[in-house]
């Protein structure tokens, strides 16, 4: 085992790290109220080898998303829509996905993803996070609490943390996972997606309730025409390891990577639905939630919102595939 690999396994034995960072926070003038403030961040830790592999995989997802947008541009007859799409394409193609990986003193790399425009819940009360993942909770003194991370009133994960109100400091909530743990969550999502695209092979009908594929790539069939909860296969039906699955270009794993891009750059709004897939990978890995947020095999999301007749993420912007079980040619 490499030294960097061993260090990652050591650091990731803790699911939550609270870091106290000096920050210029002050109480509101004229009041005695104090609050805990800080940033909520998911950090995925990579060895140098894992970072290189995921960098290459993100570049593939960046290319796939850009090709999808180019297709929309070629089909558009609306000048305003075309202008918007061209702007999105320029932003997507200019995105430096390699810059997401921050080199650490021990030689490993961190991929930090703020919990943007979402919520944290403490003692049953919901508090919003801003566009950079910052929160503020009114607490008078030190308090041990369970913090639920949610999006659209749907729990992603929860952690026990010690929140302490101090005007001169911020309390950042960091959820830390190794790449292997993150890959495990990507693989697990959607096990228990209507635009057609070229280069897709579909298959004979499997009975509803049955499974398409095997091993890591197994997906449940929820509706006729082999509509599955998650399209997990890339070029073939062979089973792959969890890490291989996170790196390949199935609809499921590509959507996670487009979600990573949308979290890193809010200007990539076309990919915002894929943030659900990042959330699902987090919640699926630690088994703290009661089912996927979007790819749950139902016609509604876990919070009850309609999915417009869709089942899985294959139709998301940047992918645009059939929701039937399929492989890519």
Instruction: Specify which residues 38 forms β-bridges with.
Output: 135
* Residue 99 belongs to some domain of the structure: no
> Residue 213's pLDDT is what?
78
**Closest residue by Cα to residue 172 from 182, 155, 159, 190:** 159
Tell me whether residue 78 is exposed, middle or buried, using C-beta atoms within 10 angstroms of its C-beta: 0 to 12, 13 to 18, 19 or more: exposed
Total of domains in the chain: 2
CA dihedral 288, 291, 292, 294 (to 10 degrees): -140
134, 156, 177: which is the final residue of a domain?
A: 177
Distance, in Å, from the CA atom of 290 to the CA atom of 155, rounded to the nearest integer, reads 9
Do residues 43 and 115 make contact, with C-beta atoms less than 8 angstroms apart?
no
pLDDT at 69: 95
Do 123 and 260 belong to one domain? no
pLDDT of residue 2: 57
Using CA atoms of 166, 163, 115, 6 in order, give the dihedral in degrees to the nearest 10.
Answer: 110
Residues 261 and 281 in one domain: yes
Distance CA 56, CA 210 (A): 34
119 vs 140: CA distance, rounded Å = 21
Expressed as residue numbers, the domain containing 267 is 181-328
Mean pLDDT throughout 109-113? Answer: 97
- 22: domain CATH number? 2.60.40
Residue 62 lies in a domain: no
Rg (CA), the chain: 21
Q: Write out pLDDT tens, residues 264-307.
A: 999 999 999 999 999 988 887 555 455 678 888 888 988 889 99
Same-domain pairing of 37 and 152: yes
The answer to whether residues 169 and 35 belong to one domain is yes
pLDDT in tens, 167-197: 556 788 888 899 998 888 887 754 433 333 4
Strand partners, 223: 227
């Amino acid at each position: 085992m490499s030294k960097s690999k061993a260090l990652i396994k050591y650091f990731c034995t803790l699911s939550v790290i609270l870091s106290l960072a000096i920050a210029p926070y002050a109480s509101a003038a004229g009041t005695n109220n104090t609050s805990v403030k800080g940033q909520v961040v998911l950090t995925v830790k990579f060895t140098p080898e894992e970072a290189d592999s995921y960098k290459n995989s993100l570049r593939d997802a960046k290319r796939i998303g850009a090709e999808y947008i180019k297709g929309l541009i070629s089909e558009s007859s609306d000048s305003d829509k075309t202008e918007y799409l061209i702007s999105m394409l320029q932003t997507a193609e200019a995105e430096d996905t390699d810059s997401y990986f921050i080199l650490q003193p021990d030689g490993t790399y961190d991929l930090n993803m703020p919990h943007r425009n979402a919520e944290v819940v403490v003692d049953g009360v919901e508090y919003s996070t801003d566009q950079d993942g910052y929160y503020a909770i009114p607490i008078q003194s030190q308090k041990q609490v369970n913090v639920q991370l949610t999006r659209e009133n749907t729990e992603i994960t929860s952690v026990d943390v010690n929140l302490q109100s101090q005007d001169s400091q911020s309390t950042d909530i960091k959820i830390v996972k190794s790449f292997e743990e993150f890959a495990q969550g990507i693989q697990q999502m959607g096990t228990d997606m209507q635009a057609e695209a070229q280069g897709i092979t579909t298959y004979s009908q499997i009975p509803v309730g049955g499974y398409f594929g095997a091993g890591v790539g197994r997906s449940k069939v929820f509706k006729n025409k082999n509509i599955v909860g998650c399209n997990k296969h890339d070029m073939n039906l062979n089973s792959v390891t969890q890490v291989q699955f996170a790196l390949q270009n199935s609809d499921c794993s590509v959507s996670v990577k487009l979600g990573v891009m949308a979290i890193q750059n809010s200007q990539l709004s076309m990919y915002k639905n894929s943030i659900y897939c990042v959330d699902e990978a987090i919640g699926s890995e630690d088994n703290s939630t009661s089912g996927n947020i979007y790819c749950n095999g139902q016609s509604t999301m876990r919070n009850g919102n309609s999915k417009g007749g869709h089942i899985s993420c294959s139709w998301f912007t940047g992918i645009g595939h059939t929701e039937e079980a399929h492989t890519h040619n």
